Amino acid sequence: MPLSTLGDRARLHVVRHRAATGAQGSPLVAGQALANLTQRAAAVPAVVLLVPTVRADAVFAGLRTAFEVAGSIGRRTGLPLRVLTLDAPSRPARAAARRRVSSVLCVPESDVEVHSAWEQTHTHRADVWIATYFSTAHALDRACDRGTVDRDRVVYLVQDHEPAFFPASTESVIAAHTYRCGFRLLVNSEPLRRFLVDHTDAQGIEQDRTFRPALDVTELHRAARARVSSPVVRIGFYARPEKPRNGFALGRAALQLAGPLLAADGIPYTVTTIGASHRAFAVGSSQTAVAGRLAWTDAFTATSEIDVLLSLQLTPHPSHPPLDAVASGGIAVTNDVGGSRAGLSPRLRASGAAPTELAAALRDAARVSMTTSAPTGFDDTFLRRLGRPLEAALDATLRGLS
């Protein structure tokens, strides 16, 4: 039954039910999020950013990049920004998200709208849509099939190989299909682009549409200045048990193997985990300190207090934490993916993903840290190997868009 035939209370109930299942359940349900969309000449054209969800306290790397892309397209086109979510945010949540987005983009709150995609009923032929995750790309693919959205006016921000998030599943099939939908693909990092070219049948994966990750240079300069030498090697672990691609159990095993190696070398150390809450575990004769999830600024403060960061990413996107660590003068240990991370920087140690290999890399990094007399300082020159500046990649992506 179309939403237009329901009363207000019933319509709200259906919206909330579909939003909950669309954002957190079957991607086939999420594909119906824009089913009630119609083109209207009287509508106000906008840059429409489609995201699974938005929370004012969780505008971190991937979502922050999405907002920056939307803001840049908005400045280029002169169009306002409309954020649509696949869930049903409450009125206070929308207001808080609007304030956060306006703060990130340095634009007035009045220039930002936040709505549920399930409530959106109109679009303008001049809208520019941005897909940010496979479920949002799937919803836009269905809208294009219905003729309410023009495929050539959809920018698909690809920030990882998302089929790998859901192996052998409906989600993995749909995620893989979204790379062949005829959208304008904008790819976050050259290692990811090379992986997509070599291992998928993705269409439109162009090198000139590939950009390097945008680090928070202001915060990283602050973190670099705050670094001080320590008689103890301060090891950090980017721990996210709820995200399989971050290899929590793998990292824990590597740390537990590294403990005896460090002790045999006479290297004193501490281990602090950041990223998400979890139970502390033993490394050698001590327990890990669990910092858990940190606010944006606090995360960079923590980075300045870590000499060696273990940060795993089992998919081809390079991930922000190890890049932040290296740019701010620290050392990062991560797993390599098809050779994509090797050689980026002398302070980025990319090893095999087996716990024994990671443990050996941690020991080598700790040795280097112990023999370093002073903090290295800020350096982000290695990022040039990861792609073009975002604005240059957007120039190529939007070429020919009227």
The whole-model pTM stands at 0.86
pLDDT for position 15: 45
Interatomic CA distance for residues 245 and 323, integer angstroms: 17
Yes or no: say if 132 and 157 are a contact pair by the CB < 8 Å rule: yes
- β-strand pairing of 282-283 with 286-287: antiparallel
pLDDT above 70 for 11: no
pLDDT at 340: 81
For the chain, how many structural domains are there in total?
2
127 and 49 share a domain?
Answer: yes
Q: What is the 8-class DSSP label of residue 127?
A: -
**In angstroms, how far is the first alpha carbon of the chain from the final one?**
36
The 10s digit of each residue's pLDDT in 79-92 is 999 999 998 878 88
pLDDT tens for 138-190 read 999 999 999 999 999 999 999 999 999 998 999 999 999 999 999 999 999 99
Higher pLDDT, 228 or 54: 228
Greater model confidence, 55 or 261: 261
Cβ contacts of 253 within 8 Å, gap of 6 or more:
355
Lowest-pLDDT range, 8-22, 126-140, 293-307?
A: 8-22
Q: Please tell me the predicted confidence (pLDDT) of residue 25.
A: 55
Mean pLDDT, to the nearest integer, of 97-115? 82
User: What local confidence, expressed as pLDDT, does residue 54 receive?
Assistant: 79
State whether 168 and 295 are in the same domain.
Answer: no
Looking at the structure, do residues 206 and 233 belong to the same domain, yes or no?
Answer: no
Q: What is the CATH number of the domain that holds 279?
A: 3.40.50.2000
Q: Is 391 exposed, middle or buried (0-12, 13-18, 19+ CB in 10 A)?
A: exposed
Is 266 domain-assigned?
A: yes
CA distances from 248 to 233, 254, 274, 277 (A): 21, 10, 11, 12
Q: Identify whether residues 230 and 204 lie together within a single domain.
A: no
**243: in domain:** yes
> How many residues would you count in the chain?
402
d(CA 261, CA 148): 61
Q: What is the pLDDT of residue 105?
A: 78
pLDDT of residue 318: 86
Structural domain range at position 73: 3-212+389-397
Tell me: pLDDT of 22 over 70. Answer: no
Q: Phi/psi of residue 185, each to 5°?
A: -80, 130
Which residue has better confidence, 366 or 59?
366
Mean pLDDT for the stretch of residues 288-303 = 92
Average pLDDT for residues 38-57, to the nearest whole number? 85
Question: Do 196 and 281 have their domain in common?
Answer: no
Q: Which of 51-65, 215-229, 312-326 has the lowest mean pLDDT?
A: 51-65
Angstrom distance (rounded) from CA 326 to CA 330: 5
Give the DSSP letter of residue 210.
E
Give CA–CA dist 259/286, Å, rounded: 9
Q: Do 87 and 24 lie in a common domain?
A: yes
